[in-house]
Amino acid sequence: MGFLLFIPFLIVDLVVSSTLMSMGMVMLPPTMIALPFKIMLFVLVDGWDLVIKTLVQGFR
Query: How does residue 1 score in pLDDT terms, banded at 50, 70 and 90?
Result: low
Is the per-residue pLDDT at 15 higher than 70?
Answer: yes
Write the pLDDT tens digit of every residue in 26-41.
999 999 999 999 999 9
Return the amino acid letter for 59. F
Q: How many helices (H) and strands (E) does the chain have?
A: 3, 0
Secondary structure of residue 45 in the 3-state scheme: coil
CA distances from 2 to 16, 25, 38, 50 (A): 22, 31, 15, 11
N-to-C CA span, the chain: 16
Write the pLDDT tens digit of every residue in 46-58.
888 988 998 899 8
Q: How far is CA 8 from the centre of its chain?
A: 5
pTM exceeds cut of 0.85: no
Q: What pLDDT, on a 0 to 100 scale, did the predictor assign at position 40?
A: 93
